[in-house]
Structure 1
Amino acid sequence: MQRGFRISLAVLGLALLACGVTLAQDVKSQSMPGTDFSKFHTYKWVTVEGAKYPNQIMDAQIKQSIDSQLATKGLSKVENGPADLYISYQVAVQQSTQWNAYGTGGYRWGGGMASATQSTINTGTLVLDFYDPTTKQLVWTGSATKTLNPSSNQEKNQKNLDKAMAKLLKAYPPK
C-alpha cells in the first residue's frame, strides 16, 4: 500500500515538473552602460554572417512582431539609407523530452494505476541585438526563451511570438 502511494507521488512530481517546464518563459536583456538611448529614432534590419535564421515565413513573422513593438517605442524602420540603429536577430531551437503523467485510484483502496508518456518539445531561443552603426558597438541585447508548441495554426504561432516580443522589449529602452 505504501509503495503504490510513493509511485503515485513520484508520477505526480514528474507531471508538475513537466508543467513547470512547458509554462516557463525566460526573458533577459543587457545594455551598454553610458549609452544615450534617446538619440535612437530609426533602425535598419541587418543580417549577421554565419547566424542561424528560420525559413522565410517565420523570418517575416519575427520581424513583423519586433517591428510592431519598436513602433510603440517610437522607433521607425528605414529600408534604405542611414539609420540610428542596426538590428539583427538569431534563433536556436533545441529538443527536450517532456513527460506527461497521470494516475488513477488512490492509496486507501489499494493501489491504483499510474502512467507516464514521453513526448519531444522544442525549446526556442531568440536573441535580439541592437548596434550603434557610428561606434560599431553592441548597445542592447535581449533574449527570449520559450517552450514552443509547434502548431500548424499560423495565427496561434504569431500570437505566441507577439507575446514573447512584447515581454522582451518591455526592457527597451533601459531606464
Structure 2
Amino acid sequence: MQRMRRTFLAVAGLVLSMSVMGIAQDVKTNSMPGTDFSKYHTYKWVAIEGASHPDQIVDAQIKQSVDAQMAAKGLTKASGDTADLFVGYQIAVDQEKQWNAYGMGGGLRWGGMANATSSTISVGTLVLDMYDPGTKQLVWTGTATKTLDASSKQDKNQKNLDKAMEKLLKDYPPKA
C-alpha cells in the first residue's frame, strides 16, 4: 500500500509539472545590430497598419502592462506627437490541443490505470515592435506566446500579460 501511494504521488507530481511546463510563456526578442538604445528616452504608442488588435479593454490592458515595464526601464511615455521611439503591437489568437493526463497504479508489478483527455485552448501571441522615428526602421521586436486567452477571466489575463511583458522586456535595452 505504501509503495502504491508513493507511485501515485510520483505520477501526480510528474503530470502536474508537465501541465505547468505546457502553459509556460515563450518569449523571443531581436534587435537591429549597431543601434544605440541609450538615445531612447521617450516613446509613443503607434498603430501598426493591418495588424490585429483586440477590443478596447484588452488594448488598454496591454498598453498598461507595457507602460509599466517601459517606466521600469527608465523610458517616459510622450504626451505629444514627438518621441524618441515609436511602440506598436499586434496580437494573434490561435487554437491548440492541450492534453491532460493522469494515472494511478503500482507500476509493472501491480498494473495500473491511466487516462488522457484532450481539449482545445486558445493561445495568444503578442508581438511588440519598436521603431526609430528618425530612420523609420524597426530597431527592436519581441514575441510572447501563450500570453492571451480569450476564455480566461480578466484578472487572470492581466496577471499573465504582466508576467509576459516583464519577461519579454527583461533584457531591454539589449546589450551592445
Q: TM-score range by the shorter chain?
A: 0.7 to 0.9
1:68 maps to 2:71: no
**Equivalent in the alignment of 1:23:** 23
Cα deviations by residue, 1:107-148 (Å, 9 ceiling, x for unpaired): 323x33222111112221111100011110111111111265
C-alpha distance in 2, partners of 1:87/1:147? 18
Task: Give the fraction of aligned pairs with identical amino acids, expressed as a percent.
Answer: 69
Give the AA of the match of 2:144: A
Cα contact 1:43–1:76 (8 A) shared by 2: yes
Secondary structure at the residue paired with 1:108?
helix
C-alpha distance in 2, partners of 1:62/1:103? 39
How far off is 1:94 after superposition?
1.2
Cα contact 1:132–1:138 (8 A) shared by 2: yes
- For structure 2, the 5+ residue unaligned runs are 1-10
Counterparts of residues 1-175 of structure 1 (less than 5 Å): 19=19, 22-106=22-106, 107-109=108-110, 111-146=111-146, 150-152=151-153, 154-175=154-175
Secondary structure at the residue paired with 1:162?
helix
**Equivalent in the alignment of 1:7:** none
TM-score normalized with structure 1 length: 0.83
Cα contact 1:122–1:147 (8 A) shared by 2: no
Please report the RMSD computed on the Cα atoms of aligned residues, expressed in angstroms.
2.3
> CA, structure 1 residues 143+69, in 2 after alignment: closer, same or farther (shift >3 Å)?
same
Cα deviations by residue, 1:25-48 (Å, 9 ceiling, x for unpaired): 221111111111111111110101
C-alpha distance in 2, partners of 1:84/1:147? 27
C-alpha distance in 2, partners of 1:147/1:117? 23
C-alpha distance in 2, partners of 1:30/1:101? 36
C-alpha distance in 1, partners of 2:93/2:63? 18
